[in-house]
A = this chain, B = another copy of it.
Amino acid sequence: MGSIENLRPDAGPSKRTAGATRGAAGTLTGAALPAAERRIERRPLHEEVIDHLRDRIVHGQLTPGARLNERVLCEQLGISRTPLREAIKMLATEGLVELLPNRGAIVTPLKAANIADTLAVMGVLESLAGELVCANATEADLAEVRALHFDMLAHHARGDLAGYFRYNQLIHLKIIEASGNPVLTNTYRQLNANVRRARYMANLSQERWDAAVREHEEILAALVLRDAVRLKRLLAEHLEHKVASVMAALGGGAALA
């Protein structure tokens, strides 16, 4: 995971022939589909770059405040500066990156105040989602949440924190998605990316972890019953605890390097 994966099969774009290497690698979709339905489809490079950089930022491999040197990244990814710069601009709009005119871009520093503000907004979004999901979720949605819940329990039982976090995220996102409001989903997802970075630094205590799992049990129960009032309250409390945990890790107001 820490290794640098080139987006292009041959690193270091050669003069005037780099374009010919497109479409040879694993970015193509539909390998498992029958030939008739297979869509030959190439994602634009800037999208690949965005996903790559977003991952590295969220997972903390690109640390807050770190500079994004265009030349270095180009070499690592085996692309030219144009798609890289487009990707950086988009990440800046998402808030994961900060543009310093004439001085490039840095990974947005993690400020406790900013995370707190973000979580406050996410709170009301979750509350709205709770209301909508009780009204709009299909039975299939609920089944999926339950399945994810058990996956999460499995990781918790094994003490696999990373796996737990992954399914925890998936559950929350699935609940938001099942609300049936795509704007809500996008907004939440975008804000969430910024918070996730902090999460990777917060060391969860076993007590807090166990408590979080219990809270999820209750959330699932309220969801299945489509008890909107109760669900909203549980989600709010759950987030409240998360805020406390993250804030404790970030240590009140200080910027994180």
Q: Chain A residues in contact with chain B, CB under 8 A? A: 42-44, 46, 82, 85-86, 89-90, 92-95, 99, 101, 114, 117-118, 120-121, 123-125, 127-128, 132, 181-184, 186-187, 191
Assembly CA distance A94 to B187 (angstroms): 10
Contact B118 A183 (CB under 8 A): yes
A187: B residues at CB distance < 8 A: 121, 187, 191
A-B contact pairs, 17 of them (CB 8 A): A42-B101, A43-B101, A44-B99, A44-B101, A89-B89, A90-B90, A114-B182, A117-B181, A117-B182, A120-B132, A120-B183, A121-B125, A124-B124, A124-B128, A183-B191, A187-B187, A187-B191
Q: Which residues of B contact A128 (CB under 8 A)?
A: 120-121, 123-124
The 8 Å CB contact of A120, one of B44, B86, B90, B184, is B184
A66 and B90 alpha carbons, distance in the complex (Å): 22
* B-chain residues with CB within 8 Å of residue A124 when the two chains form the complex: 124-125, 127-128
Q: A117 to B184, Cβ gap below 8 A?
A: yes
Residue of B46, B121, B186 near A184 (CB, 8 A) is: B121
5 closest pairs, A vs B, by CB? A93-B93, A117-B183, A124-B124, A117-B181, A124-B128
Contact check, A183 vs B92: say whether CB atoms are below 8 A apart: no
Q: Which residue of B lies closest to A99 (CB)?
A: B44
Q: Which single residue of chain B is at the shortest CB-CB distance from A180? A: B117
Residue of B nearest to A119 (CB): B183
| A117 neighbours in B (Cβ, 8 Å) | 181-184
Query: In the bound complex, do residue B90 and residue A92 qualify as a contact, i.e. CB atoms below 8 Å apart?
Result: yes
A47 to B125, CA, bound (A): 30
How many Å from the CB of A125 to the closest CB on chain B?
Answer: 7
Q: How many Å lie between the Cα of A202 and that of B120 in the bound state?
A: 33
